[in-house]
Structure 1
């Protein structure tokens, strides 16, 4: 398979200096840029998949009508927080 290039980008000399200052032993600027692009692609793919799964879960919950109302969840969390604060206050007394 023949390789292709990523379009070159212009950066300020100071920024290029910052990039070069963090290169690891034996790492080239091209390797650094390729790694950064690969990480960005992977991050976006993961974000897209996360959102897709979340939307599917929401649709499934709505279809089955078996979700828990946000107000109920928040009330439960508030009760847990109040209990934790009470326990902490008792220990400090």
Structure 2
């Protein structure tokens, strides 16, 4: 794979003093791997939570709304 000259120029200008292109690329790759691992973990936890919640007997939305409306009515009466 060839790197576009403009990108290579940008990278070379972004290098810190005494930083090599190889160390810059290694740091970038490690960071990307960490980001992808974190994202994969987040997606796994979200999928597990979705499966758990769909399998569990939850409270119907109508019941939750009715309870919230009752609390709101009680708060209005206290004022």
TM-score (norm 1): 0.59
Partner secondary structure for residue 24 of structure 2? helix
- Unmatched 5+ stretches in structure 2: 69-79
| More RCO (CA 8 Å, sep 6+) | 2
TM-score (norm 2): 0.69
Query: 1:38 is matched with which residue?
Result: 30
Shift of the 19–64 alpha-carbon distance from structure 1 to 2, 3 Å rule, reads same
Cα deviation, residue 68, structure 1: 6.8
Cα deviation, residue 65, structure 1: 2.5
Query: 2:71 is matched with which residue?
Result: none
**In structure 2, what is the Cα distance between the partners aligned to 1:36 and 1:27?**
13
State the Cα RMSD in Å: 2.3
Say which one has the larger Rg: 2
> Would you say how many aligned residue pairs link Structure 1 and Structure 2?
64
Structure richer in helix, relative to its length:
2
Query: 1:51 is matched with which residue?
Result: 43
Runs of 4+ that moved beyond 4 A: none
